[in-house]
């Protein structure tokens, strides 16, 4: 889903989306699903022109426009998640033409066949009568805050069963800003509704936070070969390119390179660069 126009660095999220689609098709060639990119923008022709629909289509996405769900206002509460109108993600529950939907953040890449998410975890959800599957947000100590992240999930990877009734329930909660943690926008809201035990837990390998490289390099090394979805949570895949472009325009070096070195994510930035934005049938 694209909820903001491509001005400034946000255009890199569109490149990330294209690379995500290519990686899905490369590693899950037999996965018979629709790849849908939702545009949840304001009713503005200018914003439409800032979306590179040709690139998105060339990578494999079918582009569809939906209504935007604006973030509520609360005194003293403002951050990049709220500015990006992330509550628009709740629109996914309206897509009742599908039995199940896998939602992936555009700062992710797929590195293995992800068909198991549908063939294993969707039946498990049906068996348990649960409508959501997600991976825990917790990282290894000392990174994990035991009071907040141990029981919550990260919304980067969500397997959900659409429901108009649930959509209406979720959108009603949006305005009740005291009912959930607004810091994390729709992720905070979803965690307030789908508490621990009410959703199917996905393994870490389906939402592998890059931060874990620095938090617990041993665990990361043990799991690395099994990771199916990499999530660029600390340093985005395009961060080094963005830094280089800023310098070429006369800007100063930022902390991104140092951050990538400290977090051990430089190799994964190169991996991101190697993924094309256009899918070719001979790949």
What pLDDT is attached to residue 248?
54
Q: Which residue has the tokens 């999530």?
A: 231
Residue-number span of the structural domain to which 99 is assigned: 8-205
pTM (two decimals): 0.91
Q: Is residue 51 part of a domain?
A: yes
Q: Is residue 54 part of a domain?
A: yes
Residue segments in the chain with a per-residue pLDDT below the cut of 50: 247
Q: Is the peptide bond before 42 cis (omega within 30 degrees of 0)?
A: no
Nearest to 160, CA basis, from 230, 68, 69, 92: 92
Nearest to 159, CA basis, from 191, 194, 122: 122
d(CA 267, CA 274): 11
Q: Is residue 95 part of a domain?
A: yes
Specify the DSSP element, H or E, that contains 133.
strand 132-136
Nearest to 170, CA basis, from 77, 89, 66: 89
Q: Tens digits of per-residue pLDDT, 209-239?
A: 988 998 898 999 999 999 999 999 888 888 8
Q: Is residue 247 part of a domain?
A: no
- 206, two tokens: 């389906």
Q: Is residue 271 part of a domain?
A: no
Q: Is residue 103 part of a domain?
A: yes
d(CA 60, CA 63): 9
Q: Is residue 266 part of a domain?
A: no
β-bridge partners, 77? 74
CATH code for the domain in which residue 157 is found: 3.90.550.10
Specify the DSSP element, H or E, that contains 190.
helix 185-193
DSSP string computed for 86-125: GGGGGGGGG-TTSS-EEEE-TTEEE-S--HHIIIIIHHHH
What pLDDT is attached to residue 234?
82
What pLDDT is attached to residue 150?
65
Q: Is residue 107 part of a domain?
A: yes
- Across the beta sheet with 208-209, the strand order is 108-110, 229-231, 208-209
Q: Which residue has the tokens 């490289």?
A: 213
Total domains in the fold of the chain = 1
Strand-strand pairing, 62-65 and 36-39: parallel
Nearest to 237, CA basis, from 220, 223, 256: 256
d(CA 260, CA 214): 10
Nearest to 191, CA basis, from 132, 125, 142: 132
What pLDDT is attached to residue 270?
87
């Amino acid at each position: 889903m694209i909820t903001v126009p491509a001005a400034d660095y946000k255009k890199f999220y569109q490149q990330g989306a294209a690379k995500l689609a290519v990686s899905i098709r490369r590693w899950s060639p037999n996965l018979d699903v629709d790849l849908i990119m939702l545009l949840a923008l304001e009713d503005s022709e200018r914003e439409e022109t800032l979306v590179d629909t040709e690139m998105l289509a060339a990578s494999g996405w079918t582009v569809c426009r939906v209504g935007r769900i604006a973030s509520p206002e609360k005194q003293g509460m403002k951050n990049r998640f709220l500015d990006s109108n992330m509550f628009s993600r709740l629109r996914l529950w309206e897509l009742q033409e599908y039995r199940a939907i896998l939602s992936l953040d555009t700062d992710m890449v797929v590195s293995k066949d992800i068909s198991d998410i549908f063939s294993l975890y969707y039946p498990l959800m049906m068996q348990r009568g649960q409508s959501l599957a997600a991976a825990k947000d917790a990282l290894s100590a000392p990174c994990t805050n035991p009071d907040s992240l141990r029981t919550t999930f990260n919304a980067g990877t969500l397997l959900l069963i659409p429901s108009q009734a649930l959509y209406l329930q979720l959108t009603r909660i949006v305005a009740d800003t005291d009912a959930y943690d607004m810091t994390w926008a729709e992720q905070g809201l979803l965690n307030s509704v789908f508490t621990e035990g009410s959703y199917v837990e996905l393994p870490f390998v389906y939402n592998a936070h890059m931060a874990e490289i620095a938090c617990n390099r041993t665990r990361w090394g043990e799991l690395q070969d099994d990771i199916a979805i990499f999530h660029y949570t600390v340093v985005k895949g395009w961060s080094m390119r963005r830094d280089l472009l800023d310098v070429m325009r006369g800007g100063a070096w930022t902390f991104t390179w140092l951050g990538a070195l400290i977090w051990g994510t430089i190799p994964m930035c190169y991996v991101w660069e190697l993924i094309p934005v256009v899918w070719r049938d001979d790949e």
